[in-house]
Structure 1
Amino acid sequence: MTGRVGPDQVRTITCVGTGVIGAGWGAYFLARGFDVIAWDPAPGAEGRLRHLIDAAWPALTDLGLADSADRARLTFEPDLARACSETDFIQESAPEDLELKQDLLARIDAVTAPEVVISSSTSGYPMSDMQTRCAHPERTVVGHPFNPPYLIPLVEVVGGKLTSEDTVTWASDFFRYAGKSVITMQSEVPGFIANRLQEALWREALHMVNAGEATVEQIDLSITDGPGLRWPIQGPLLTFHLAGGQGGMAHMLDHFGPSLKSPWTRLEAPELTAELRDAVVDGCAEEAGDRSIDELVAERDAGVIAILRALGRV
């Protein structure tokens, strides 16, 4: 589109919504040397944003900052129109409420130059459902990150029915330029790819807790000390490919295919009763012990960095 800067020419990014995801995006973009303009109407949003960025900065410094990285390049703008008036790219990270996102994207669209790409951090809504009120829906796209966005590399990019192919290509190229690992999806799927896989594991975990078959700690340990150690290296399908030995996936499917009919999983979500909720919440509290949220975040960040370094991805 005429007037759109190239993906490698982006200098200023507007982060609309500064909760955990939006603030994480802000920290990441600052660490990569961009100017960041942030907008969020919630009372106290600026203070929470700066706190999260400060908390994330040691981890980002450990990973390696861009030469031009500077937290002073953050501007908090209380007026949405001004926040979007002079920017090269917008990342929206509002709460997961379809009506809210439809309205907010339309408001962003109305005050932003028509060539600027508007990306949404939605965890599951198709862009086709969110872009319905935009005057320029062709420049709206999903850029789905993972928490925390300042550490987890993956971004899933997919457009809606009214999104132009140029926008999807531009967004994918920009995220790669910004240092992300990008999946450009061929078509919309509610929840995208990774969240659908996460959801299957999450639902089965809830079933086991609900039935008293396993504790929260046992479920977490089964992944951290089990298959989770393999997944950062080769993913679940290549892991199963190796389970077939020299015969690979073909032998694995021939040999273990009948087990697909075994009652090893229950993909229907259980009723989230008060008892189930309390069991999960209490289990997490028991597993966390005396560690605060900040301490758990620092522990997680250090672990992710160690894995990334061990895998040569830094």
Structure 2
Amino acid sequence: MTQRLAVIATGVIGNGWIARALARGWDVVAFDPALDAEARTRAAVANAWPALERLGTTAGASPERLHFVDRLDAAVAGADLIQENVPERLPLKREILATLDAVAAPETLIGSSTSGFKPSDLQRDCRQAPGRVIVAHPFNPVYLLPLVELVGGAATTPEQMGSAQSLYRSLAMRPLVVKREIEGHIADRLMEALWREALHLVNDGVATTEEVDAAMVYGCGLRWSLMGTFLTFHLAGGDAGMRHMLEQFGPALKLPWTRLEAPELSEALIDKVVEGCEHQAAGRPVAELEQRRDAFLVELLALVRQYWPEAEGLEERI
């Protein structure tokens, strides 16, 4: 039986959800009041489709299974899953989610792509079935990266979270259930810490944006893409593993190396970052850079599966 995804708001993340669902053979109904939304979405899907075909699509997958509608109630009618992607403004998200909760069938799960807000805050104005409104936070590009952080709120039941895991697995995603509500969830909190340090390095003239990126690409990023943070440091302890690593290098954590708080986003810093990124892009349009990134990620995902096959069942073990 064909499943249907309703996508509310079609920016970069919304379009990523659309491309992923289409590649898995789902029907997709999208709602976005912007006049050029449909044209932008179809162009984004076309740009993503070659990478999706290399990764492997499901029988029956087709961009033609995407339809746009001009009303929220029409978008969610008959949906198996609703994905909300409006801008990161809590009052706006609560308003849209309350409307979706009112017009959607009470058993239909509503996932919010929010990168920062807690689900209990998102559920607050929902009256029909607030527990089915959860955080379902993906990572860009959504159509290739499999992680989705699932966070339930105060009203969410274990059964609803179980249903969410099944739905996102059917989209070929790797659901990670976050045990406690926290702003920023897990991955974004880690990325924000790194982002703040990177801004300080650029702001203080220690490195350019290109040099910071090179440190990631040719250094820790290569290790992290396979083993993550903790297992990488476990290996750093030699045969004795993590315990020896902490005994030897743990005291360095007290040294004032990290700045943690973000630097002031001054015009001078903005100019440094923008100019650095434009230099790195070397005049190439974003669509071209996206295709290069996607080709790399398809091959990298294959390598991760080859060298770390046991990670495929991670969500069942935690």
Pairwise TM-score range, normalised by the shorter structure: over 0.9
Aligned partner of 1:308 in structure 2 is 301
Aligned-partner Cα distance in 1 for 2:160–2:205: 48
Aligned-partner Cα distance in 2 for 1:170–1:199: 30
One-letter amino acid matched to 1:204: E
Length, aligned pairs only: 306
Aligned-partner Cα distance in 2 for 1:285–1:65: 34
SS at match of 1:197: helix
Q: Is the 8 A contact 1:10 1:88 kept in 2?
A: no
Aligned partner of 1:244 in structure 2 is 237
Aligned partner of 1:221 in structure 2 is 214
Aligned-partner Cα distance in 2 for 1:17–1:226: 37
What does 1:271-310 correspond to in 2, within 5 Å? 271-310=264-303
What does 1:111-130 correspond to in 2, within 5 Å? 111-130=103-122
Runs of 4 or more above 3 Å deviation: none
Deviates more, 1:171-180 or 1:249-258: 171-180
Q: Is the 8 A contact 2:2 2:27 kept in 1?
A: no
1:152 Cα deviation (Å)? 0.6
Aligned-partner Cα distance in 2 for 1:100–1:41: 14
Aligned-partner Cα distance in 2 for 1:232–1:29: 24
Aligned with 1:188 (options 181, 189, 197): 181
Aligned partner of 1:18 in structure 2 is 10
SS at match of 1:113: coil
1:312 Cα deviation (Å)? 2.6
Q: TM-score, normalised by structure 1?
A: 0.95
Structure 1: stretches of 5+ with no match in the other structure: 1-8
Aligned with 2:88 (options 79, 93, 96): 96
Coordinate RMSD, CA, aligned? 1.2
One-letter amino acid matched to 2:61: A
One-letter amino acid matched to 1:124: G
1:290 Cα deviation (Å)? 2.5
Aligned partner of 2:252 in structure 1 is 259
Q: Does 1:137 align with 2:130?
A: yes
Aligned with 1:108 (options 82, 100, 106): 100
Q: Is the 8 A contact 1:141 1:159 kept in 2?
A: yes
Aligned partner of 1:39 in structure 2 is 31
One-letter amino acid matched to 1:92: E
1:10 Cα deviation (Å)? 6.5
Q: Is the 8 A contact 1:140 1:167 kept in 2?
A: no
SS at match of 1:170: helix
Aligned partner of 1:69 in structure 2 is 61
Aligned partner of 2:313 in structure 1 is none
Aligned-partner Cα distance in 2 for 1:289–1:188: 41
